[in-house]
Amino acid sequence: MRTSVCSALVVVLPFLIGCDRGDHEIGGSGFIEATSVIVSAETPGRLEVLFAREGEAVAAGATIGVIDSTTIKLQIERTSAQRQSAVSAIEIARIAIEQTAHDAGLARKEFDRVASLLGKGSANQQQYDQTENRYKQSELARRSAQVTYEARQTDLARIDAEIALLERQLEDCYPTAPVSGVVIDKLTEPGELLAPGKPIVEIAKIDTVWVKIYLPARDLPVIRIGGAATVDLEDGKNAPLQGKIVWIANEAEFTPKNVQTAEARADLVYAVKVNIPNPQGILKIGMPVMVRFSQ
């Protein structure tokens, strides 16, 4: 399946949280996002069935739809018949090799016999020339049979490659989910004629999600890639989760324009991405969370 990675820009407000102990934690707020893949058609045809529904979980390898495969199946049947003919042609060519090799062997013996008699004066030059010619002709026939046999084998290899291609196209008529996740968008409907590359559904990987926050330059020395982070839903129901810093921007940018205050919008900040394991599916796309990094 052709796939593409999609992500959404999250808007956050960096903040500094004071602690009663005299030290402090740094962090920011953001929204849960998930890496997603778009499953696209790899073979043309009419979409007959779409099993995937928005909001449903799918497992990696699960069939998400069926594309009409009638034409491909007919092509496979036709090519399979051609293969049978090619196999028969190879057998005929193999028998021809055996026959011409046998004839060449007899012609060689006769030629050697006449050559010996010519040396003893018991055969004339005409007999020698005739047996030599028959021997050479039989050798040419043997070589021709060998070339024909190899050509028939090449034909069979070509047909096998064509069948393999058609069988792959047949498999592509049953597009599958490349990853486990949740269907977040249905991009086509049953009955539509699909061209190669036409998007079918978008699947979000929710076993690991991520959040992007923005920190001022003064906070960067206390964090590092691979460092731990605490992710809190602050809903009073779920305990904070542990995440890991996987990316820190190399260049500063202005805080996204739709934060709450004009003062914050004027600050230069650095984007920080945190991955959070989510095997139980507690975190949902779009959930607001607080992320904290301890000094």
pLDDT for the residue numbered 14: 41
CATH class for domain 5-35+205-294? Answer: mainly beta
In this prediction the pTM is 0.69
> Which residue has better confidence, 37 or 218?
37
The helix (H) or strand (E) run that includes residue 245 is strand 241-248
Fold that domain 42-67+177-201 belongs to in CATH: OB fold (Dihydrolipoamide Acetyltransferase, E2P) (2.40.50)
Among 8-17, 220-229, 247-256, which range has the highest average pLDDT? 220-229
> Which residue has better confidence, 162 or 281?
162
Q: Distance between CA 13 and CA 256 in Å, rounded?
A: 9
- 5-35+205-294 against 42-67+177-201: fold identical: no
pLDDT for the residue numbered 235: 80
> Which residue has better confidence, 152 or 267?
152
Judged by DSSP in three states, 235 sits in: coil
Q: How far is CA 103 from the centre of its chain?
A: 54
> Which residue has better confidence, 147 or 13?
147
Q: Distance between CA 178 and CA 38 in Å, rounded?
A: 9
Judged by DSSP in three states, 63 sits in: strand
User: Does residue 185 surpass a pLDDT of 70?
Assistant: yes
Residues 238-258 pLDDT 10s = 889 999 999 999 888 876 654
Confirm if 201 and 185 have CB atoms less than 8 A apart.
yes
Residues 41-59 pLDDT 10s = 999 999 999 998 999 999 9
Domain ranges of the chain: 5-35+205-294, 42-67+177-201, 70-172
DSSP state letters, 122-177: SS-HHHHHHHHHHHHHHHHHHHHHHHHHHHHHHHHHHHHHHHHHHHHHHHHTS-B-
Mean pLDDT, rounded, of the chain: 87
Rounded mean pLDDT, 195-208: 95
Q: Which two tokens mark 202?
A: 């978008």
